[in-house]
Amino acid sequence: MLEIARSELIQIFRNRLVLVTGLVIPVAVGGYFVRQHETFSELGSLGYVAGIVMFTVLAFGLYTTAVTTLAARRQNLFLKRLRSTAASDRSILAGLVLPITVISLIQVVAILVVLGAVVRSPAHVPLLVVAVLATTAMMLALALATAGLTNSPEHAQVTTLPVSLAVIAIASWVGITGTEELAYLKRLLPGGAATELVVDAWNGGVPLRDSLPLLAPTLAWVAASVALAERLFRWEPRR
């Protein structure tokens, strides 16, 4: 797995398109939200800004790049060749998505650290860490499921757009309006409970015992996406 991950990391830095979409754009957008935190805080709160930063990086950095990578490796038959080796299916997929996952997590952590240093630190750091990790797992699972519907790297620009825009829109909806109304609907949508968890972790004022159950919807999306990926994922190009 580590050898596959090392090879994939080299490919990321050689591919200008992946480098821009996976590294440059998420950091640029995240930096914009940090610079304009006062404006966005007026709409929601500082926790809302943190949630939007997290989903922007994970949607366009992790999710989109992972789908594009898997589609490209399938199209050039690299997945098929890897499957003929001693590596298991899980280790192959883990090796391919590990580099961009680590890079995306570093980006999220770096931007949130800057936000905390510039404005105010989160009230519950451990809870924020749990929220980021759970959301990362959800976006990664969604990427595996979407990759099963994606024929090529070019096609990934189409298949990834609905989920990317949806999770950011849901995060904005929950971050701005809260969950006093339509709470169950907002929490069941992908990214809704995770956004509320980030807001609670950053702003404080909510007991931990009331926030931890918000992990359940996010983990449910992980399980559902993995189950869907097992049915849809293909190792060879569609004929």
Listed residue (181, 202, 160, 158) closest to 54, CA to CA: 202
Answer with the residue of higher pLDDT: 40 or 211: 211
Domain span at 91: 2-232
pLDDT above 60 (res 41): no
pLDDT above 80 (res 191): yes
What local confidence, expressed as pLDDT, does residue 12 receive? 67
pLDDT above 90 (res 21): no
For 228, the token pair is 């869907």
Number of domain units in the chain: 1
- Is there a contact between 148 and 229 (Cβ–Cβ < 8 Å)? yes
SS (H, E, C) the chain: CHHHHHHHHHHHHHCHHHHHHHHHHHHHHHHHHHHCHHHHHHHCCHHHHHHHHHHHHHHHHHHHHHHHHHHHHHHCCHHHHHHCCCCCHHHHHHHHHHHHHHHHHHHHHHHHHHHHHHCCCCCCHHHHHHHHHHHHHHHHHHHHHHHCCCCCHHHHHHHCHHHHHHHHHHHHHHHHHCCCCCHHHHHHCCCHHHHHHHHHHHHCCCCHHHHHHHHHHHHHHHHHHHHHHHHHCCCCCCC
Record the pTM.
Answer: 0.88
Domain membership flag for residue 79? yes
Answer with the residue of higher pLDDT: 39 or 209: 209
Q: How far apart are the C-alpha atoms of 200 and 210, rounded to whole Å?
A: 10
Domain membership flag for residue 14? yes
What local confidence, expressed as pLDDT, does residue 209 receive? 80
Domain membership flag for residue 43? yes
Within 10 angstroms of residue 49's Cβ, the number of other Cβ atoms is 27
Q: How far apart are the C-alpha atoms of 157 and 152, rounded to whole Å?
A: 9
Domain membership flag for residue 238? no
Domain membership flag for residue 66? yes
Rounded alpha-carbon distances, angstroms, from residue 93 to 140, 150, 159, 180, 199: 11, 16, 19, 40, 32
The pLDDT tens digits for 50-88 are 888 899 889 988 999 899 989 988 888 888 888 888 778
Domain membership flag for residue 237? no
